[in-house]
Structure formats: structure tokens, C-alpha cells
């Protein structure tokens, strides 16, 4: 598998976990101290913070998600990915369908076993 395919697989694992409600799949591709910088929210650090942030979202909606890589750069054991995210959230309580979309930067670093783990997630919502 190429490095690009490995990164794509890590992103797919995250998105599949989000879409199926499997938070443990999501954090499986994260470094223990992953930093998340999501628009309009405080900066968080760690996989427990990811659980705390995403579990309520997963409980509140049926989610589908996607991501298009625009730029992927490798710097030895670090990969920087930038692109667009998009998806749907069908809210359980109201039936309303939201369409989140925007820009995203992810940074991955190889762990001691050679797997790519997300160390930084930055997004902004709005026109993708």
C-alpha cells in the first residue's frame, strides 16, 4: 500500500466510524494527544475529548460524511492533508437534514508500529 493509500484508509476509518456510530473506530486512527481545532468550539486535546465531542453528535443524528483530498504532502514521518469535507446529518429529534461542509486540514504522524495517526484536525465551515 502506498503512503497515500494508507492516509486515505485512515480517513476512511474515521469517516466510516462517524457514519456508523463507532467512536472507537474513529479514535483508533488518532494519536492519544490529538489536537482538534473546530470552528466555533474550544481547542481540545486527546482521544477522550474526541469521544466527548462526537458521541453527542452521533447520538443526535444519522450521519454520512465525505472528504476530498486536494493536497497531500509528506515530510518524513509526517503527512499534511488539506481538502474539503461534506456530509449530511439527519437529526433524530426533528427530522431536519443538515449539510455540513467546509475546509479541513489533517496532520498525521507515524506511530512506533508504523501506522499513521492523526495528530491535528482543523476545520472551518462554510462554502467548500
pLDDT tens digits, one per residue of 35-72 = 999 988 999 999 999 999 999 999 999 999 999 999 99
Q: Which residues pair with residue 98 across a beta bridge? A: 89
Q: Which of 125, 122, 115 is nearest to 34 (CA)?
A: 122
Count of C-beta atoms within a 10 Å radius of residue 41: 10
Residue 125: per-residue pLDDT = 86
The CATH number of 3-122, from 3.50.50.60, 3.10.450.50, 1.10.287.110, 3.40.640.10, is 3.10.450.50
Query: Does pLDDT of 127 surpass 80?
Result: no
Place 7 in a pLDDT band, splitting at 50, 70 and 90. very high
Domain ranges of the chain: 3-122
Q: Is the pTM of this model over 0.85?
A: yes
pLDDT tens digits, one per residue of 87-121 = 999 999 999 999 999 999 999 999 999 999 999 99
Beta carbons of 66 and 35 less than 8 angstroms apart: no
Residue 39: per-residue pLDDT = 87
Beta carbons of 35 and 119 less than 8 angstroms apart: yes
Query: Does pLDDT of 128 surpass 80?
Result: no
**How confident is the model over 69-91, as a mean pLDDT?**
97
Amino acid at each position: 500500500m502506498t503512503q497515500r493509500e494508507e492516509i486515505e484508509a485512515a480517513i476512511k476509518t474515521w469517516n466510516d466510524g462517524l457514519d456508523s456510530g463507532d467512536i472507537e473506530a474513529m479514535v483508533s486512527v488518532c494519536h492519544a494527544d490529538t489536537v482538534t481545532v473546530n470552528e466555533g468550539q474550544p481547542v481540545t486535546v486527546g482521544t477522550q475529548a474526541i469521544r466527548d465531542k462526537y458521541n453527542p453528535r452521533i447520538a443526535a443524528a444519522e450521519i454520512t460524511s465525505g472528504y476530498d483530498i486536494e493536497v497531500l504532502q509528506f515530510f518524513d514521518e509526517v503527512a499534511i492533508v488539506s481538502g474539503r469535507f461534506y456530509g449530511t446529518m439527519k437529526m433524530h429529534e426533528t427530522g431536519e437534514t443538515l449539510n455540513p461542509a467546509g475546509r479541513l486540514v489533517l496532520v498525521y504522524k507515524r506511530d512506533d508500529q508504523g501506522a499513521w495517526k492523526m495528530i491535528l484536525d482543523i476545520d472551518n465551515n462554510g462554502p467548500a
